[in-house]
Structure 1
């Protein structure tokens, strides 16, 4: 399975398209999907856009108090890769990774900001919605 995960700056560099809104992001992901049929563009506080084949879905960011964004991208990619390796479908893995990235920005540092699923369930802002979402999927 090939999956491409890029942020806005990387998507702009790969496609030559300046991202100013979700429409631009959709244009970028269409171009990236020509080369990799599972693609994610992370958008920071605006969430992320995922594409698989000809399908696209915007996943909004979780509203949290940001302490540091250092390591958020790594948290996202690491959790998404782990979920995919465990057999999760593409969109579910992106949803779970979105929770992990949101939780990571609420703490300082890179590796020290990463939370286990058990700790994430107890997160004061994300825990309840993570638990509800996780039970539905």
Structure 2
């Protein structure tokens, strides 16, 4: 999808997208969770399989300091040249461990969020789980396990 294309073009598109769409998809209930965590000085991070050039902009808008996302390499001409690290559920777990260690917090004190069952290993890596507009199978599992669900 990105191979051989100019990174700057995608970055500019990401800027426009985040500026125009963030308020539409960051629901009030999710914003309230983020704001409450900030007031309580709870560290926040985004772990996403989406491209870093998009996720960094979202994190900046939400004032979330720690960002873990799929990386793409860029060649000397400014074009995407390959996939770096894919931020799948297992990579998310690895980086969560690194982050919690560096912050000196227990993974049991971490709340993980996702909308899809593919992130199950990541969800289970934290002490508390919250599913956000979950896919059907994840909703069923969340209900069975008593996990928090945010729906809008």
- Higher strand share goes to which structure? 2
Q: Bigger radius of gyration, 1 or 2?
A: 2
- Using structure 2 for the length normalisation, give the TM-score: 0.26
- Using structure 1 for the length normalisation, give the TM-score: 0.28
